[in-house]
Amino acid sequence: MDKTHWKKLNNPDYLGAYALQPGQDLVATISIVKREMITGADGKKEECTVMHFSDKTIKPMILNTTNCKTIQKVYKTPYIEDWNGRAIQIYIDNVKAFGDVVEALRIRPFIPKQNEPAKNEPIFCADCGQEIQPYGKMDATKMAAYTYENYGKSLCADCAKAEKEKSEIKDPLAEKEEVTEGESGDENNEN
């Protein structure tokens, strides 16, 4: 039996841990991520990063740095525009915040499993909207599954090639972080 969290009764505008049942995960496809002005429960306005979903029945989710970093690692891109059309799996975790342990939404660090399409039903590319065609030795279903597993969305051959080219471009900021971490020579210095 589903239980009603008291925070659901306030009907906030954004997805929160209260929206999931204990142990439940939510798989959703990102529609767009953008900066928005939000009004908190205390009436304070603040600009935040907000993720909207393709399924309009799912409320938008305010993204914190932890969740942004997880999406970046899963899809190997720090660019929010590249997250559109990608599936994520959301769960509840207990975290220390504000001097207390609270429930928070987190993104699982992997691409969620995709449901199998019905037989003989066309599969459409998440980027261009065209019907996915067989490619090489793969039929359309295998092509969709392969691209979903590798890119987090079902793609036609042309869009898969473009996605591969994008993923091969390294993030210059990530390279800089890797180089500068531990280069100070002061690893053992606690100052």
pLDDT for res 66 = 96
Burial status of residue 38 (CB atoms within 10 A of its CB: 0-12, 13-18, 19 or more): middle
pTM above 0.75, yes or no: no
Q: What is the largest CA-CA distance in the chain?
A: 65
Task: Name the residue with higher pLDDT: 176 or 6.
Answer: 6
Task: Name the residue with higher pLDDT: 39 or 53.
Answer: 53
Lowest mean pLDDT among 54-58, 106-110, 162-166: 162-166
Over residues 114-141, the pLDDT tens digits come to: 766 666 788 888 888 899 999 999 999 8
Separation of first and last alpha carbons in the chain: 54
Distance CA 123, CA 130 (A): 8
Lowest mean pLDDT among 2-11, 22-31, 64-73, 181-190: 181-190
Q: What residue spans define the domains of the chain?
A: 6-107, 114-183
Lowest mean pLDDT among 16-25, 79-88, 95-104, 114-123: 114-123
pLDDT for res 182 = 41
Asked if the model's pLDDT at residue 45 lies above 60, the reply is yes
Confidence of residue 170 (pLDDT cuts 50, 70, 90): low
Distance CA 51, CA 147 (A): 23
